[in-house]
Structure 1
Amino acid sequence: MAKTVTLSLDAMGGDGGPEVVIPGAEIGLERYPDIRYEIFGDEARVAPILDKCPRVKEASRLHHCEVAVQMDDKPSQALRQGRWKSSMWRALEAGKDGTAGAVVSAGNTGALMAMAKFCLRTMPGVERPAIAAIWPTIRGESIVLDVGATIGAEAEQLTGYAILGGAMARAVFGIERPTVGLLNVGVEEVKGLEEIKAAGRMLRAADLESIDYFGFIEGNDLGRGTVDVAVTEGFSGNIALKTAEGTARQISEYLRAAMSRTLQAQLGYLLAKPAFDRLKEKMDPRKVNGGVFLGLNGLVIKSHGGTDAEGFAAAVELAYDMVRNDLMSRIASDLEAYQASGAAERADEGKEAAK
């Protein structure tokens, strides 16, 4: 019998709370019957929903929690009031003590990141964690990080993100040596901020076996899928993410308006409906729901707070894949290899020589 994968769920997170989380867990269990759940939430709300989902109930343990972190709580407020008692904190503790292989929450992003950093701590060699997103591209899918955890980043942090993203690509996409690019204002080596250029030098100097450093990429390379992993800092990464989401909705609205304008257009829509259905599925944000907190001593997946059960199931499946493919061990091994390469020290020597 295959070893089970245990996931810790914050049942109270997100706009829908347990009414979304439990049905989403049921979809995940249908696709991966070897999942087991540790569910944290208000028993009075969660238990009746579990009764309607007997498969999830059988595969789960419910832990009553008195406090639920609200979507508008400030991170500092959530830490003060939610520690030890909240469903979010206790779900993270299950990841810390090894009860669960990964934590999934649709709750307040700032509070989740603050609690995760406080509870799990960062891995050796990682100063700040990153949020990684799976990005649909013309070629298929790629990984973009950071998309909002850290505003601004030094060269050492960017190189760390490259290693974290590369390990995730290997675990989730099954790519033996993923290509990694640094998001920049141009592809020429002389362009961009000094920290980005320094990160490029460090990645070239490291010459790691785990990743294939491509060089600089531009914003239009994200949708093309030029590289498997695109690295940036959280400010520009979050803007890119929100711009892509907004553009997808804009195109969808344009198409909807154009197809309903005239009788001829409506007839054309009926004839082309199979193609439009494929386009709709490709652009469905629920299919790639789940931002991954990388660089912590544990796996944390942040589901979109406004998603439905299908979207939450996608986050559950992402967590399952990363646990099953042993992402944490891959990250630890890749970080160790980078530190052993001495690339950071050689880059510092190059900076001094250039002065």
Structure 2
Amino acid sequence: MSAPIIAIDAMGGDFGPRCIVPASIPALTEFPSLHLVLVGQSSSIESILAQHAGVDPSRLRIVHAAETIGMDERPAQVLRGKPDSSMRVALDLVRSGQAHACVSAGNTGALMALSRYVLKTLPGIDRPAMVTVIPTERGSCYLLDLGANVDCSAEHLYQFAVMGAVAAELQGIERPRVALLNIGVEDIKGNQQVKLAASLLQQAEGLNYIGYVEGDGLYRGEADVVVCDGFVGNILLKSSEGLASMISAKMEALFKQSLASRLAGSLALPLLRRLQGELAPSRHNGASFLGLQGIVVKSHGSADADGFLSAIRRALLEVEKDMPQRLHERLEHLLL
């Protein structure tokens, strides 16, 4: 394929261009064929770029967008009232073929609404789903939905399961084990939507559906793809991030309490740093919007420069895998 081009919503997230622009520059060094388009208020972007020497102008350009989208703005208002927002312009670049993917740390609801409006969904998909890879005892697991769809029908959960399985297959997992997140593994457990989704998945040919999994089973690696509605998924993800941060802080405090604990901590430090690196939210930052006719990756709004760089890596991987086309080919068999 031609050189990959990724459009960056430079104005999104909690920190805007002062975080996103510096995070984008190392991506050009890490991936020599990558081209970036920084979308947003050109004066702000240019002033930050001026502080970084050695940026190759042939691989990075700026597209001006006069408007920004606040993290608390309603999606419906954004659709109607902000045609020149950095998020909308970045998505338009993907639609027109001037970019292969869009990365944004902005308002999740607005990004989902604009993505559906600008890029449209693949045939057979009612709603795109947010998916990310989370660490488990056995490796990793694809979790979806993460908050794009708070209220889901059984059919939506079924579609999420199919998309998650295809995403896992494209990453080299043969016959990924697909499970529904539930409050128990018994058939009688769960709400009506989960039970109906289970019935649909049991009848699906070509899917390795293994049944229900509980939250602790997810982290034990009992499934490769775990499906839930966005309300549950978002709470699970944020709680997991908070728990990892708390454990890290508690361990650091314990190792500082006395001379003996400091000595023990110095011996354990290499292993602790390795564990922190494996569990760090920044390493796993970047949730894909599966089911669109284009590639969109959502970065955590509070992500630092390392976290946003991880989201760029995720987008580039999907560009290289041609995710929408390959997803469409598999969905034709499984859904249509």
TM-score range relative to shorter protein:
over 0.9
Is 1:67 aligned with 2:79? no
Name the SS of the counterpart of 1:288 in structure 2.
coil
Alignment-derived partner of residue 277 in structure 1: 273
Contact 1:137/1:225 (8 A) holds in 2: yes
> Distance between the aligned counterparts of 1:225 and 1:104, measured in 2?
29
Matched to 2:160, the amino acid is Y
Alignment-derived partner of residue 4 in structure 1: 3
Is 1:185 aligned with 2:183? yes
Matched to 2:15, the amino acid is G
Name the SS of the counterpart of 2:335 in structure 1.
helix
Alignment-derived partner of residue 333 in structure 2: 337
CA RMSD of aligned residues (A): 1.7
Alignment-derived partner of residue 259 in structure 1: 255
Contact 2:291/2:324 (8 A) holds in 1: no
- What's the offset of the Cα at 1:122? 2.0
> Distance between the aligned counterparts of 1:139 and 1:12, measured in 2?
37
Is 1:89 aligned with 2:118? no
- What's the offset of the Cα at 1:4? 1.3
> Distance between the aligned counterparts of 1:24 and 1:167, measured in 2?
30
- What's the offset of the Cα at 1:78? 2.4
Contact 1:148/1:234 (8 A) holds in 2: yes
> Distance between the aligned counterparts of 1:290 and 1:321, measured in 2?
11
Name the SS of the counterpart of 1:27 in structure 2.
helix
Matched to 1:312, the amino acid is F
- What's the offset of the Cα at 1:53? 5.0
Alignment-derived partner of residue 346 in structure 1: none
What stretches of structure 1 move > 6 A for 4+ residues in a row? none
Contact 1:23/1:53 (8 A) holds in 2: no
Match of 1:325 among 316, 321, 331: 321
Alignment-derived partner of residue 141 in structure 1: 140
Give the percent of matched residue pairs that are identical in Structure 1 and Structure 2.
40
Alignment-derived partner of residue 18 in structure 2: 19
- What's the offset of the Cα at 1:118? 1.9
> Distance between the aligned counterparts of 1:174 and 1:33, measured in 2?
25
> Distance between the aligned counterparts of 2:333 and 2:236, measured in 1?
31
- What's the offset of the Cα at 1:56? 5.0
Q: Deviations over 1:233-279 (max 9, x none)?
A: 11111111111111112211211221111111111111111111111
Match of 2:245 among 245, 249, 254: 249
Contact 1:26/1:53 (8 A) holds in 2: no
- What's the offset of the Cα at 1:144? 0.3
Alignment-derived partner of residue 80 in structure 1: 80
> Distance between the aligned counterparts of 1:155 and 1:92, measured in 2?
29
Bigger proportion of residues as helix: 1
Contact 1:8/1:39 (8 A) holds in 2: yes
Is 1:307 aligned with 2:286? no
Matched to 1:82, the amino acid is K
Scaled by the length of structure 1, the TM-score of the pair is 0.90
- What's the offset of the Cα at 1:135? 0.8
Name the SS of the counterpart of 1:55 in structure 2.
coil
- What's the offset of the Cα at 1:230? 0.5
Name the SS of the counterpart of 2:134 in structure 1.
strand
Alignment-derived partner of residue 58 in structure 1: 58
Contact 1:302/1:315 (8 A) holds in 2: yes
Q: 1:176 to 1:35 in 2, by over 3 A?
A: farther
Count of equivalent residues:
335
Q: Deviations over 1:292-315 (max 9, x none)?
A: 112222111111111111111100
- What's the offset of the Cα at 1:11? 0.9
Unmatched tracts of structure 2, length 5 or more: none
Alignment-derived partner of residue 160 in structure 2: 161
Unmatched tracts of structure 1, length 5 or more: 341-355
> Distance between the aligned counterparts of 2:75 and 2:45, measured in 1?
25
